[in-house]
Amino acid sequence: MEEYHLQDHKIPHGFQVFEDRLEVAGVSFRKADAVSFSKSKIKWLELEREIGNNHDKNAIQVYGCTKGFFGTKRRLIGYVPSVIAEQLVTNGFFGQIQPRLLKTYVGDQGFVEILFQILGPKGQKYKYSPAKSVAGGHYSDYVASVKQLKSENQNEKAIKLLLRLVAKIEKEAQLKGDGWGVAPWYYEQLAIIYRKEKQYENEVKILERYECQPKGAGPDKLSLRLLKAREIRDKRGA
pLDDT for 174: 87
Residue 135 has pLDDT above 80, yes or no: no
What length does the chain have?
Answer: 238
CA distances (Å), origin 112, targets 23, 43, 76, 102, 115: 11, 16, 14, 14, 10
| Longest alpha-carbon distance in the chain | 75
Choose the weakest-confidence range: 27-41, 76-90, 137-151, 162-176.
137-151
Residue at a domain's end among 101, 122, 143 = 122
How many distinct structural domains can be found in the chain? 2
CATH assignment of the domain containing 202? 1.25.40
- Residues 138, 148 contacting (CB under 8 angstroms): no
Opening angle at CA 148, ends 201 and 102, nearest 5: 165
Residues 18 and 67 in one domain: yes
pLDDT for 218: 57
pLDDT for 128: 79
Q: What is the pLDDT of residues 170-215, one digit of tens each?
A: 998 888 877 788 999 999 999 999 999 999 999 999 999 999 998 8
Residue 143 has pLDDT above 90, yes or no: no
Is residue 169 within a helix (H) or strand (E), and if so which, with residue range? Answer: helix 155-176
Residues 117 and 135 in one domain: no
Residues 91 and 148 in one domain: no
pLDDT for 79: 97
Give the other-Cβ count within 10 Å of 37's Cβ: 28
Residue at a domain's end among 122, 138, 155 = 122
pLDDT for 139: 81
Opening angle at CA 121, ends 114 and 83, nearest 5: 45
CA distance 155 to 145: 12
Residue at a domain's end among 59, 87, 122 = 122
Q: What is the pLDDT of residues 152-164, one digit of tens each?
A: 888 998 999 999 9
pLDDT for 76: 97
Residue 130 has pLDDT above 80, yes or no: no
- Residues 135, 161 contacting (CB under 8 angstroms): no
CA distance 36 to 29: 14
**Mean pLDDT over the full length of the chain:** 89
Q: 8 falls in which pLDDT band (50, 70, 90)?
A: confident
Residues 228 and 161 in one domain: yes
Domain that holds residue 51: 2-122
Residues 109 and 196 in one domain: no
Q: What is the pLDDT of residues 15-61, one digit of tens each?
A: 999 999 999 999 999 999 999 999 999 999 999 999 989 989 999 99
Residues 140 and 39 in one domain: no
CA distance 220 to 212: 13
Say whether 26 sits in a helix, a strand or coil.
Answer: coil
pLDDT for 131: 44
